[in-house]
Amino acid sequence: MVAASAIDKQASSGATRRGRGKGRAFYASQGLAASTVGDGRVLVDLSMGGAGNLELLKNALASLSPQATGAKATDDAAKQLVAALEKVAERYLSDAFADEFAKLISEYRVMLRENLAKADDAPLKAALNRARLQERILASTQMADQAEACQLLGLSGANPSATMKRKEERNELLRFTVDGRAVYPLLQFDVEGRRIYPAMRHIIAAKPADWSDFRLLHWLTREHLDFDETPGVALGSDPQAVIAAFEREAEPAVHG
């Protein structure tokens, strides 16, 4: 979600504005409007106003200690006033933003639910279909977390995150995130040899730019005509055949 914020000069009069672009606008409060646009972003017009801050200022000024007459006392009083105003501004902005963003999140959820119910947004439906497919693929694939991956490879588990990060950077294996944790499809691991199948490096290197890691995992876990099993299972028994099959699959179609 991309948010664009602006102080709405019309907030005090109760006017609200729609976000630019297509879609229905939702108002979280008198001065806040969120609307979807065609590219999937959400534009937010954020406004803050009201008389509550005057009460904060009054209380802050009342908290100042009485000052004696004289230039130094006047200077000290001015400094205390500035400090009080800064404190009021900090508290006001903190409270206002927290309140408005809480309302924005609530209204954004309403907007999403309504779009889901209508199912009339083609980009949204396509994104949801991809998300559902990804969830199914991940749920049906055995995974190892970072510590387990290090154990399978016979590597030190003192810092599994850094150890596996190096292998990811060398494009030796596929990595996904599930429930906020890094996980690795188990099919990539030669458990007996305590290594990652070397064919994975070749396959990842041959992956076209328009192929996501999810698409590659989907291909590895589907039945394939070249094998009596999935390509992922065949990584251990016939790696060259798996590489060749993937290169054919990834080769762009030629229309003549």
| Interval 161-173: pLDDT, tens | 999 999 999 999 9
**Last residue in a domain, options 120, 153, 186:** 120
CA pair distance 34, 32, nearest whole angstrom: 7
* Residue at 126 is within a domain: no
156 and 102 co-located in one domain: no
Amino acid letter, 122: A
24 and 112 co-located in one domain: yes
The answer to whether 216 and 203 have CB atoms below 8 angstroms apart is yes
Question: Please, what is the Cα angle at 139 between 135 and 145, to 5 degrees?
Answer: 110
17 pLDDT exceeds 60? no
Domain count, the chain: 2
pLDDT confidence bin for 183, thresholds 50/70/90: very high
* Residue at 132 is within a domain: no
Token representation of residue 5: 């914020």
pLDDT confidence bin for 71, thresholds 50/70/90: low
Which residue did the predictor score with more confidence, 143 or 256? 143
The pLDDT value given to residue 210: 92
* Residue at 41 is within a domain: yes
What percent of the chain clears pLDDT 90, i.e. is strictly above it? Answer: 42
Residues spanned by the domain of 180: 142-250
* Residue at 2 is within a domain: no
Enter the DSSP assignment of 10. Answer: T
21 and 73 co-located in one domain: yes
12 pLDDT exceeds 50? no
167 and 110 co-located in one domain: no
146 and 73 co-located in one domain: no
| Interval 87-135: pLDDT, tens | 777 776 776 666 676 677 666 666 666 655 555 667 777 888 888 888 8
* Residue at 256 is within a domain: no
CA pair distance 44, 25, nearest whole angstrom: 10
What percent of the chain clears pLDDT 70, i.e. is strictly above it? Answer: 58
Beta strands in the chain, from DSSP E residues, in sequence order: 25-29, 32-36, 42-46, 143-145, 176-178, 181-185, 189-190, 195-196
Q: pTM for this one?
A: 0.53
CA pair distance 62, 85, nearest whole angstrom: 12
CA pair distance 219, 215, nearest whole angstrom: 6
